[in-house]
Structure 1
Amino acid sequence: MRFYAHNQQIPDFLAFSERRKCDLSIVARHIYDNSLGGKAKSDYMDSLWNDKKSFWQVLFSDEKLYFRKQLDIEALKIEGLYPNAVRSIPTVIPDTVPIEKLTLYEIKERDIVEYRKIKNAVFAKQTDTKGFIACAASGVKTQMRRDFQIDHIKPMSQGGLTTIDNLQLLTRKAHVEKTRRENTR
């Protein structure tokens, strides 16, 4: 709103897919790799700044000097004069938490196949030969899976794990009732 009030025009839109076009480190790398210096460097930077399709003027609030200074800083980083600005690829360390210690939601986010195996095993455990699923608390039977929720017999807050032996099916009503009882202890 402030931009519109000041300039009487709608601001330009920069899509996330075009972010690389506004990366000064790429521009600095191009200048460095092509040994652009003196007038060639100045002409190249002017062409970038004056390009109506680019967002340099928007990003630097029409301050060309700030644009040039930031570009110089990126060039100095490439030359190694900014030792603290060394960019390294982050090392990803996989989770070492055993899957049994995760909630069902976390298992689903981490490994959908394992989540489905657990869910199907819990439903199979409480399904009779005629295909009826029984609530572990109330004994209500139905063939509709959507009527049930998976519950930890021993809550995770008390050291329970997400294992087939510690999981049961409850109707929504029975699950709410069990949760209410556990929370009032």
Structure 2
Amino acid sequence: TASAYIVSFVDHWNEHIAWVNPESIFEGNNDFQDNDPERIKRELRMIAISKIEEFASILDDSVDTSALEKVPFEQRIPVGMYAFTYLEESGMDHAYQVMVYDSTQTAYQDLMEALPALFDSFAISEEYLTESQLAEMEAQCRDTFFCGEMVPPYEERDVRNILKYYAQYETAPQFYTFADVDRSKLDVGKIAQYIWDEDMGQRKKTEYVDSVWDSNDDNMLRLFFGRKLYFLRQLDIELMKISHSKDIFDEGNNVKFGTKALEDLPLNEIRKYNPELEKTLRAKAFENAKDADGFYCCAGCGKKNRSKVYFQVDHIIPMNAGGKSVAENLQILCRQCNGVKGDR
């Protein structure tokens, strides 16, 4: 028939849904002649699916989402996505979308450029990656590209799926921008600011919010949030940020770690408390290892390469021997030398 109803019963929302090959959604084909409004609606629906976990978590009082809530709302709207399809080893197609934000866009761009070097550094030519290979490669990507403060953060599973795709096709997945989606029209922060500036009472505020929800640009807000409850919760948060200042998100963060205390932690532990410090320490280690021609040099065997993915940051004096996580005690080693040192 001309149309069909598809009912999906999904018990794990962390698996994204894509009923068709993602490329056809954006490129179009002989079966779909899309106009711009319909394409934008589909993009919004796809973004909305990716935000369900986030919105639901904010409603859950047992989950600490303060770091996410204090970020300007517009920065929590994706700027685009990598959309691709690959084959599982079982032979089943797997369609996947990686949402990209202002916070992660540069990191993903750097990763895509480094994919050939990354696979070369691990000497991988197989079409299907093992779990141990995926774990090691994802860790290398995390330490190389995804250091520092990133809110919203990157997802490990996203990088793993990108690696699976590259293993099969030896090309980076296609990036699709959401440039046609006017993010300012989804910015709850601006709606909250208008309510505050107009000094609306509760009744007037309720009437205004209802009118925005019911009529905002062909219901873009409805498409994005899905449930009015999610929209209202975000609006309350933005109003609270305006009325009580953004410092309210720091009230519960009474534990402060000084640089001296962090020196006694490994880099991956420092990330939990001060991600920018970890990023700085790793960057200094690589900068100190760069020669006049712009090559990074392994402190062990002298191996050189322009790509960081061949190397890992290492403590010169191991931490179990009293070494500290300070710039003076960090060097870079190729993966082979680091492995040998670890064995010793």
What is the TM-score with the length of structure 1 in the denominator?
0.48
- Structure with larger RCO (C-alpha < 8 A, sep 6+): 2
Larger Rg: 1
